[in-house]
Amino acid sequence: MLLSVPMSWGGEEFPDELSLDSHFKSATNKITFFASAGDDGAGVSWPAVAPNVVAVGGTTLNFSANGQFKSETAWYGSGGGVSAYESEPAYQKAYNIPKAQGRRAIPDVAYDADPHSGLAVYSSNLNSNKGWYVFGGTSAGAPQWAAIKSLGLAADNNKFYLDKATKANGYFFRDIKSGSNGDCGYYCAARSHYDYVTGLGSPLTVKF
């Protein structure tokens, strides 16, 4: 059985996190863990940064006046950066991420997280008001990627980085090339291929 586990939580890195990373390792490689990368802009959070976890960053969807999709850009709240403690995993070494300096980089992938273009949710009793609300955050993106895993069955970091490196990468990901999540220069700006705001990009398929 193949499983996907979404984790819409996280916190600042800490020295002892390495001793806890084993909780996210599947002995049979049949479980994929997805974690939100954070909603406070540039910065690294755990467990998203654990090497056996897919870190999900955030984007903003932009629409025309009649509601048609126009573009997708980096969301200013998306977490991302280079770990202070985790070593660079093999799948990232093979992809050759710039400026990682031998450390784990996040996010790996991205999903719409801007509350202005987020998910429509109906509540029968939210603050005593029922009706439709729009929610965002990378905490919404993690379960969306977990759902993609359940549909395509092969979604994990090893596949993501291999697929992004092929000439057919546009079949798998929308490459987010504009937007930022702070004022930290290179590490805060979206760009082609991989960046520390949206990772490899947002999904265009479930067949990784």
Its pTM stands at 0.95
Q: Which of 41-55, 57-71, 99-113, 115-129 has the lowest mean pLDDT?
A: 115-129
Amino acid at 154: A
Which pLDDT score is estimated for 30?
A: 80
Q: Which CATH superfamily is domain 3-60+71-113+137-203 in?
A: Peptidase S8/S53 domain (3.40.50.200)
Residue 127 has pLDDT above 80, yes or no: no
* Domain residue ranges of the chain, discontinuous segments joined by +: 3-60+71-113+137-203
Task: Let me know if 159 is exposed, middle or buried by CB neighbors in 10 A (0-12, 13-18, 19+).
Answer: middle
Percent of the chain with pLDDT over 90: 85
Residue 109 has pLDDT above 90, yes or no: yes
Is residue 27 very low, low, confident or very high in pLDDT (cuts 50, 70, 90)? Answer: low
Q: How far is the C-alpha of 43 from the C-alpha of 37, rounded, in Å?
A: 9
